Structure 1
């Protein structure tokens, strides 16, 4: 599990392509790998990946086709900047909201509104998940725990503060880019329960 509070940005140093998976090499910041064991779960742009080899300042991840199809890692290339977060411990402070690292869909950045120190973005919603995107609710975008702004029929707004832009790769986004989106599991459970209750009352 993850908190949605990105701890570091890191650069992709190499991408290897194999028949049915890719191997991503990431140059990690100082001390990020300290105490990290092989096979540890790391959130990379919000995707829960298993570390293959841990160097002092590098990590390797094998990403299978199923994950590539559902996430923006299918477009990853050398030099790209990714968000990183190590899995939380039982004693960890949850600064954002609990996230599993299982991406529900990719959304397209439709519009970016540049302000003096902040940014607003409008992002598309997959029609299969539109019922779960609620104003003021939680959502995970590239591994960042964010609060949903205004919701439209097929899109929603997010508001990015200077600290988020500084720590994460969201400041690098451009219109038409794809972002990894994880819906809040609590929201899914509540909405589905309400749907079932209403359906039962009608039957």
Structure 2
């Protein structure tokens, strides 16, 4: 489980195409400290498994399902990425509950620059709109954010200078894709309301 609090702005150092998969090598000295083979690291909000480690870099394999559902397929050598290690047991939940399971992608629609922050409008797939509410939580490229405005096919977020400086959201331009993960609690609530618990059967007499 992650919290959506990005620890490091990393970089893709190599991409190897493997037919229906890709192997990424990524630089991240903070997230690789103490990491081991098989550990998880979130890359732009996608939970990936560490395959190899060395000199502040790690390698991860990405299967076709993940490439198709997320924006990782658009990454290339030199691309900057948001990196986060899983939350330690007993750690602070600084953002919100993030699984690292991307629900879909959106695109940056526009950026409105203010004196001390930016308002960013992001397109929203129709099938995800019902999970996004004003003042609710959403993960954009692995960053835990609060929804300012929730429209039928878009939402807006307000980015403070720290987020702009320390994550990829500071360099994304209109048209760029972003990974979206909606609040998992909303999905579970919908599932439970749509499938009410059945009454236990009467025992046979």
Q: Distance in 2 between matches of 1:115 and 1:73?
A: 30
Greater mean deviation of Cα atoms: 164-173 or 182-191: 182-191
Mark the runs of 5 or more structure 2 residues left unpaired by the alignment.
Answer: 197-205
Report the equivalent of 2:33. 34
* Alpha-carbon shift at residue 125 of structure 1 (Å): 1.1
Matched, 1:102 2:101: yes
Mark the runs of 5 or more structure 1 residues left unpaired by the alignment.
Answer: 198-203
Report the equivalent of 1:66. 65
Deviations, residues 92-127 of structure 1 (Å, cap 9, x unaligned) = 111000111000000111111122332111111111
Q: Distance in 1 between matches of 2:179 and 2:97?
A: 16
Q: Distance in 1 between matches of 2:15 and 2:113?
A: 32
Q: CA RMSD in A?
A: 1.3
* Alpha-carbon shift at residue 152 of structure 1 (Å): 1.3
Report the equivalent of 1:6. 6
The count of residues paired between Structure 1 and Structure 2 equals 196
Give TM-score, length-normalised by structure 2.
Answer: 0.91
Q: Distance in 1 between matches of 2:33 and 2:27?
A: 14
Q: Distance in 1 between matches of 2:195 and 2:132?
A: 18
Q: Distance in 2 between matches of 1:35 and 1:152?
A: 42
* Alpha-carbon shift at residue 56 of structure 1 (Å): 2.8
Report the equivalent of 2:114. 115
Report the equivalent of 1:157. 156
Larger radius of gyration: 2
Q: Distance in 1 between matches of 2:177 and 2:116?
A: 23
Give TM-score, length-normalised by structure 1.
Answer: 0.92
Q: Secondary structure at the match of 2:98?
A: coil
Q: Distance in 1 between matches of 2:195 and 2:58?
A: 44
Q: Distance in 2 between matches of 1:78 and 1:56?
A: 17
Report the equivalent of 2:21. 21
Closer/same/farther in 2, CA of residues 131 and 196 from structure 1, 3 Å limit? farther
Structure 1 runs (4+) greater than 3 angstroms displaced? 191-197
Deviations, residues 6-60 of structure 1 (Å, cap 9, x unaligned) = 000011111111111111111113x432211101010000000001101131111
Q: Secondary structure at the match of 1:187?
A: helix
Q: Distance in 2 between matches of 1:195 and 1:122?
A: 31
Report the equivalent of 2:166. 167
CA contact (8 A) 2:31 2:83 kept: no
Report the equivalent of 2:135. 136
